Amino acid sequence: MAGRVIVVTSGKGGVGKTTTVANIGTGLALRHKKVVMIDADIGLRNLDVVMGLENRIIYDLVDVAEKTCRSINKALIKDKRLSNLYLLPAAQTRNKDAISPEQMVAIVDELKEEFDYVLVDCPAGIERGFDNAVAAATEAIVVTTPEVSAVRDADRIIGLLQEKEIYEPVLILNRLRPDMVRKGDMMDVDDINDILAIKLLGIVPDDEEIIISTNKGEPAVLNNQSKAGEAFRNIVRRMEGEEVPFMSVNGEPGIFGRFLKLLNGK
C-alpha cells in the first residue's frame, strides 16, 4: 500500500511549519514508521538545520528533479538517530521556479511506494512554492498561531487547498499560551474554530524548549521533559488513528476541556 502524503502549510511564515514537520516526522519514526520529510522551501531551507543534518547534504530536491543525481536514494539523508527517518533537503541556491508541480508529483510518487509517510514542508506564501508543495499531497495539516493575521492566512490556505481537492485539512494550533488566553489577551481555540471550522489535530504550547532543541538540531518530541514535545507525541498518535484527549497544558481542565468537543470537528 502506498504511503500517506501530507503537506504542512500555513500561508504565513514563521508559525511553525518546519518545527511541525521535524517533530511529527521524528515522532512517527519513533513509532517505527518509515518516514521521509521533503523540504519544499527552496532558497530558504532549514529543515536540515532543525534536524541537525546540514553537514550531510550532498544532493537536494532540485538535483533530483533535474536528474543530476542518479536516483532519489542518493539524495536522501538518513537521520542521525533513527534509521527509518530520511530527509530530502531543499536547494539553497535556487528559487521556487527551479522545480515544477509535475516534477514534484513524480518524485513523491516514487517515494510513497517506499515510505509510510511522505511529509512535505511547505514554504510561506500562496504562489509557486505552495503549488509545488501541495501538488502531490492528498492530506494537509494547516498550522496557525493564535493571532488574527495567522488565522486569516490559514483561512485563505484552506480555501486554496479545496481548489487543489484537499477538502479536509486538519489544524495544529501552535504557540498557545494558556496564561494569556485566561487573561483574554489571546484568541482561544473556540475563537479560532469559529473562523476556520476544521478538525483540530493538536495544540502545541509556546515552549522555550522548542528554541533550545532547534538550536541543538534535536526535535523536542525526543525530549520527555518538553510540553511541546508531549503535544507533538499526542499529535502523532492522533495521526495514527488513536483517540487522544487534548492535554491540559497547565493542569487546568477549564479551557482545555472544550477542546475535546473539537476533536470531532464542528
Partner 1 sequence: MFVPATRPVHEEQLVFKGLKQGLTLFVPERDTFGHWLEVLERQLNQAKGFFQGGAILVELGERQLTPDELAGLKKVLAQYRIRIKGFNPVLRKKNNPRSEKRPPASTGVLLVKGTVRNGQRLENEGDIVVKGDLNPGGELVATGDIIVLGALRGIAHAGAGGNVKAEIIAFTLAPVQLRIAHIFSRAPEERKGRQGPEIAYIKGEKIVVERL
Ligand X SMILES: Nc1ncnc2c1ncn2[C@@H]1O[C@H](COP(=O)(O)OP(=O)(O)O)[C@@H](O)[C@H]1O
Segment 190-209, which members bind ligand X (CB under 6 A)?
204, 206-207
Q: Which is nearer to partner 1, 159 or 245 (CB)?
A: 159
230 binds ligand X (CB under 6 A): no
* 116 Cβ contact partners less than 8 Å away, ≥ 6 residues apart: 3, 4, 28, 33, 34, 35
CA distance 259 to 266: 11
Q: Which is nearer to partner 1, 191 or 240 (CB)?
A: 191
Name all contacts of 191-195 with Cβ < 8 Å and 24+ positions apart.
191/146, 192/144, 192/146, 192/151, 193/262, 193/266, 195/151, 195/155
Cα dihedral 37, 132, 41, 226 sign: negative
Give the shortest CB-193-to-partner 1 separation in angstroms.
Answer: 12
Q: Which is nearer to Mg ion, 128 or 199 (CB)?
A: 128
Query: Which one among 67, 70, 80, 156 touches partner 1, defined by CB under 8 A?
Result: 156
61 binds ligand X (CB under 6 A): no
Give the shortest CB-224-to-ligand X separation in angstroms.
Answer: 17
155 binds partner 1 (CB under 8 A): yes
Per-residue x/- marks for Mg ion, 8-37, CB under 5 A? Answer: ---------xx-------------------
Cα–Cα distance list, 184 to 177, 178, 239, 256, 263 (Å) = 11, 10, 31, 15, 23
As a residue count, the chain comes to 266
153 binds partner 1 (CB under 8 A): yes
Q: Which is nearer to ligand X, 72 or 154 (CB)?
A: 154
Cell numbers at 200, concatenated: 483540530
For residue 132, the partner it binds in Mg ion, ligand X, partner 1, none, with Cβ less than 5 to 8 A by kind, is none
CA-based end-to-end distance of the chain: 31
Cell numbers at 217, concatenated: 538540531
Q: Name the phi and psi angles at 167, rounded to 5.
A: -90, -20
15 binds ligand X (CB under 6 A): yes
**Choices 72-80, 116-124, 153-161, 250-258; region in contact with partner 1 by CB under 8 A:** 153-161
165 binds partner 1 (CB under 8 A): yes
Which residues here bind partner 1, judged by CB under 8 A? 126, 152-153, 155-156, 158-160, 162-165, 194-195, 197
